[in-house]
Structure 1
Amino acid sequence: MSPSLRRIVVLISGSGTNLQALIDAQNTPSLPHAEIVLVFSNRKAAFGLTRAAQAQPPISTGYLALQPYLKAHPGKTRDDYDAEVARRVLEARPDLIVLAGWMHVFGEGFLDLANAAGVPVINLHPALPGAFDGTNAIERAYEAFQKGDIANSGAMVHRVVKDVDRGEPVVIREVTLSKEDALDDFATRLHAVEWEIIVQATKQVLDEVVPIP
C-alpha cells in the first residue's frame, strides 16, 4: 500500500452495497489518490466483509460484535466496546472513517478517540436532515409520503456527532416519490443516490483533511 494514497476505513453491518460503491471509486477520478485500508463490521456474517476480501487487491477486514465483547469482558460497558472499535480502526491510520450502513450508534467512547486522533467520521443516512433519524428511515419516509405528510425524501452524508443523524450535512440529495411507487421502487431509487453521494462526500472530506498536492 502506497503511503501517498489517502487512507479510508469503512464500517459496515450488512451486504456492503455502499461499500462497493467506494471500492469501485477508490483511486479513480471520483475518489482520487485514495484507498480503503480496512473494512470493519459488527456482524460476522456481513457480506460486505466478503466484498472486501474479494476486492482487487483484497482489503483487510476486522470484526467485533457488541454482545460477544461484553460477555467476554465482564464489567465492560457499551462505551468500552465503542472505544475498542475505535482503537482497532485507528490502528489502520485512517485519514477518514466512513460509516456505510453501520447499524450501531456510537457514543463518546468512539467519538472521543476519533476526535483526539483528528480523524473525521462521516455517516450515510437515507433521509433528509432532521427527518427520520435512526433506523428504518426509508420505510418511515415512504409511509409518511403515503399519508401526505411529506412531499419528498432523500439521503445525506453527515458528520457524526453524539446525537444520532444530527451532525452537519456534507452532501444532501432529494429523492422524489410518486403515488405509484411501491416501497421497493422508492428504495431502489434512493439506494442509487446513496451510492453516488457516499463517494462524493468521501472525496469532499478527504480533500479538506488531506488535500492532493
Structure 2
Amino acid sequence: MTSSPSRRIAVLVSGSGTNLQALIDAQNTPALPNAQIVLVFSNRKAAFGLTRAAQAQPPIPTGYLALQPYLKAHPGYTRDDYDAEVARRVLEARPDLIVLAGWMHVFAEGFLDLANAASVPVINLHPALPGTFDGTNAIERAYEAFEKGEIAHSGAMVHRVVKDVDRGEPLVVREVPLTKGETLEEFAKRLHAVEWEIIVQAAKQVLDEAVPIPP
C-alpha cells in the first residue's frame, strides 16, 4: 500500500461528459491508480459534464467560462486573453495533468504557454486516427468517406496538445473498422466505447511519466 498523495487531474469538457464519466469511474482503480479529478471545467454553462461532476461521489469542483461573455465583459481583450484566463483558473487547481475530453474550443499560445510553464502536460481525445479528419465532425466525415469507398476503418486517439489542431504526439491510438450497412449512429456508438477506454489508458500513461507512484 502506497501513502503517496493522489495524482491530480483537471478535465475540460463542452458537452455531455461521457468521456469524463469514464475517467470518474476509473479514478483510484487499477486502471487509473492514485488519481483524483480535482476540477471539471467547461466553456458551456449547460454542459452535462458539469452535472456529472457535481453528482460524483464525492462531488468534483467545477468551473465555467465562455468565450463570448468573457470578451463582452472585457472590451479590447482577445481570444488569446480568454485562453490564458482559462489556463489560470485550471492551474489554480494544481493539476498534474489536464485532459481535454470533448472540449470544443481550440487553444492557442495563451493556454499552452501557461500550462507548459507550469510543467503540466495537456492531452486531448480525438475521434480519428493521426493525420486524418482533424478538427470537428471527425466521426461524420469518416463515415462519409467510408460510404464513398475511400477508407475501410477509422479510429480514435489521445494525443499531446500543441498549437496545430489534433497534430500533437499520439499517445494511444486504436483503429475502429467500419461495417457495410451500419448506420452512423451505430458506428459512433462503437467508436465512443473505444474512446472511453483509451482516455483512461492515456491519462494513466502520462501520469505515470509525470508523477510516478513510488514503489
Identity percentage of aligned residues: 87
Q: What's the counterpart of residue 127 of structure 1?
A: 128
Deviation at 1:3, TM superposition (A): 7.5
Task: Count the aligned residue pairs.
Answer: 212
Distance 1:146 1:211 in 2: 44
Aligned to 1:69: 70
Query: What is the 5 A alignment of 1:9-88?
Result: 9-88=10-89
Q: Which residue of 2 aligns with 1:207?
A: 208
- The residue aligned with 1:118 is 119
Residues of 2 paired with 1:136 and 1:155: CA distance? Answer: 13
Provide the C-alpha distance between the structure 2 equivalents of 1:45 and 1:127, rounded to a whole number of angstroms. 26
- Are residues 1:151 and 2:147 paired? no
TM-score by length of 2: 0.98
Tell me the residue number matched to 1:99.
100
Report if aligned partners of 2:4, 2:213 keep a CA contact under 8 Å in 1.
Answer: no
Alignment deviations for residues 84-136 of structure 1 (CA, whole Å, 9 cap, x no partner): 00000000000000000000000000000000000000000000000000000
Q: Output the aligned Cα RMSD.
A: 0.9
Give unpaired runs (5+ residues) of structure 1: none
One-letter code of the match for 1:143? E
Distance in 2 of aligned mates of 1:80 and 1:6: 28
Q: Deviations over 1:34-73 (max 9, x none)?
A: 0000000000000000000000000000000000000000
Q: Distance in 2 between matches of 1:76 and 1:8?
A: 29
Shift of 1:180: 1.3
Quick one: which amino acid aligns to residue 98 of structure 2?
I
